[in-house]
Amino acid sequence: MATWQIFSSIGLGFLIGYLSLLNRKLIEYNKYLTGGGLMVLLFAMGAKIGMDDQVLSQLSQIGFKAFLFALSAIIGSVLMVYIYFKKSAKSYSNDSFSSDNEENDVDQAGYKDTIIIAAAVITGLIFALLFLDMQYISLMNLISNYALLVLLFGVGVDIGLNKEMMSYLVKYGWNIIIFPILIALGSILGTVAIGYLIGFNFNESAAVGAGFGWYSLSGIMLSQLHSVELGSIAFLSNIFREFLTFLILPFVVKKFGREAAVAPGGATAMDVTLPMIKKVGGEEMVVPALVSGMILTTLVPILVPFLIKL
């Protein structure tokens, strides 16, 4: 799939969402569009893994590499945030980013979506093992291409509709975007460093790092734009990142300061890992986490195809 097709799908969706060209009923249907496209893509991703004997034989190696990428992305992100705030002698651990009543909007983290995503991939893998072989790979790629365009269009609509991010930027000032900038740089530099040590090219490692924890999209995009193997590594790497965030966040805050609480989760700081960030980092880190997660989520479908094509 050509990069221009990806950006065109996102851009068209963004314009339609931003200009409010959809009525409320169609906006509600958009979640089914993105959800349906995602399920088809995840099923196809699992099927392509099941059809590829080489990838199947390397699953244990892929898992280990994915873990290293996840750990390096977290370390890079945390260090970038820690160094910046230590060197600049700044602190956002005060009322300047107090979340007012926003704690009412914070839901408890759940794993329902993670279970559904894993089930879709596993179902595709099992289906391929039982019924498919490599002669169906072209058909599966065609289905994946169209489903990806549908998904990216829906993602673009969601981004365009998200006026909340702009309101945060106006309310708290543009300096709040230092969080996602530092986290993005740290993630990419961390994965590039470990990728060099384990034999990956710069563009491959950088693209994996640019997933920022959004496993359902980055893995799919790299499967389409590069290879099933790299897509699988990206998928697992971002799952590991989310999982590791829950395990190490108290340690990160204790050793590196509460500003660093936003860093490990990447894009998930605005949803899945947000309750944990609030719990260990304090209520004042909720708004930086929300804005950082929103911006990083927006950057994933832009940076992943850009970096893999370098």
pLDDT tens for each residue of the chain, 310 residues long: 666 777 788 789 889 988 888 777 777 788 788 888 878 888 987 888 888 787 788 778 899 999 999 999 999 999 999 999 887 755 554 445 544 444 444 344 445 666 787 788 889 999 999 998 888 888 888 888 888 888 888 878 887 887 766 666 666 666 788 999 999 999 999 999 999 999 999 999 999 999 999 877 888 899 889 998 999 999 999 988 988 888 889 999 999 998 999 999 999 888 778 878 888 888 778 888 888 988 999 899 999 999 999 8
Q: What is the share, in percent, of the chain residues with pLDDT greater than 90?
A: 34
**Residues contacting 265, CB < 8 A, separation 6+:** 213, 241, 242, 245, 249, 272, 273, 274, 276, 277, 289, 293
Q: Rounding to the nearest 10 degrees, give the CA dihedral for residues 120, 125, 128, 134.
A: 120
Buried b (16+ CB within 10 A) or exposed e, 208-246: bbbbbbbbbbbbbbbbbbbbbbbbbbbbbbbbbbbebbb
Burial of residue 89 (CB within 10 Å: 0-12, 13-18, 19+) is: exposed
Both tokens of 18, joined, read 């931003």
Query: What pLDDT score does 106 carry?
Result: 39
pLDDT of residue 256: 93
**Tokens 């999982």, residue located:** 243
Question: Buried b / exposed e across 118-152, counting CB within 10 Å, b at 16+?
Answer: bebbeebbeebeeebeeeebeebeebbbebbbbbb
N-to-C CA span, the chain: 15
Backbone dihedral angles phi then psi of residue 198, each to the nearest 5 degrees: -110, 15
d(CA 121, CA 39): 8
Distance CA 77, CA 75 (A): 6
Give the model's pLDDT for residue 153. 87
Strand ranges for the chain from DSSP E? none
The rounded distance, in Å, linking the Cα atoms of 127 and 118 is: 14
Q: Looking at residue 280, what is its pLDDT? A: 86
pLDDT score of 108: 41
pLDDT in tens, 143-202: 888 888 888 888 788 878 877 666 666 666 667 889 999 999 999 999 999 999 999 999
Measure the CA dihedral 308/32/272/238, to 10°.
Answer: -20
Q: Are 160 and 38 in contact (CB under 8 A)?
A: no
The ranges assigned to domains in the chain are: 3-308
Q: Cα dist. 216→5, 92, 100, 102, 114 in Å?
A: 19, 31, 32, 27, 9
H or E stretch at 174: none
